[in-house]
Amino acid sequence: MTVDTLTAEVPSTNSDTPDVTVPPVESTSPERMRGPDTSAAAEAKPKKTPAKKAAARKNKTFELTLTVTGSADGEWRAELKQGTTYVARNLAVAAAAVSRAAKELHDDLSAPIDEVIEEGRSQQAARVAALEAELEAARKALAELG
């Protein structure tokens, strides 16, 4: 029977890793191949307890309430609340900014907001047309007087 043995290597000085030497392997006789009696060794070792599950982490959430209100005149106002405390109140915001912000947040928010803005825009256009007609009538009346 032939037995292979490993020889220890000379550690290299060009490495950043720690030097490790390998001891030579001794002959492997049949008695050594069997090893010690494992039944007694198994009883002596304590059994591993299962790892305890870590408590589920609860993500900390922040609640902010942004309320944006618009009027038929096209004025938009915003207020921001954190819990029960107002962070900002009665801020004037442009309708275009409201529309852009809604698009940035979610498509489901932007569609109804854009509908409301478009309705306000058409109401304002109708008002402008009525005022222009009234102005034209006033100019004609002024021209007839003068």
Residue pLDDT, tens place only, 57-93: 788 888 999 999 988 778 899 999 998 999 999 999 9
Give residue 73's pLDDT. 77
Residue pLDDT, tens place only, 6-19: 555 555 555 555 55
Residue pLDDT, tens place only, 16-28: 555 555 556 555 5
Helix (H, G, I), strand (E, B) or coil at 43: helix
Decide which of 47 and 135 is more confident: 135
Q: How does residue 133 score in pLDDT terms, banded at 50, 70 and 90?
A: very high
Give residue 71's pLDDT. 83
d(CA 121, CA 95): 10
d(CA 41, CA 4): 29
Q: How does residue 137 score in pLDDT terms, banded at 50, 70 and 90?
A: very high
Q: CB 127: neighbour CB atoms within 10 A?
A: 13
d(CA 78, CA 92): 7
Give residue 17's pLDDT. 55
For the segment 105-120, the average pLDDT, to the nearest whole number, is 90
- Please state the separation of Cα 11 from the chain's center in Å: 50
**Contact (Cβ atoms closer than 8 angstroms) between residue 79 and residue 91:** yes
pLDDT above 70: percentage of residues in the chain: 64
Q: How does residue 32 score in pLDDT terms, banded at 50, 70 and 90?
A: low
Q: What is the mean pLDDT of the chain?
A: 79
d(CA 98, CA 68): 8
Helix (H, G, I), strand (E, B) or coil at 77: strand
Give residue 81's pLDDT. 95
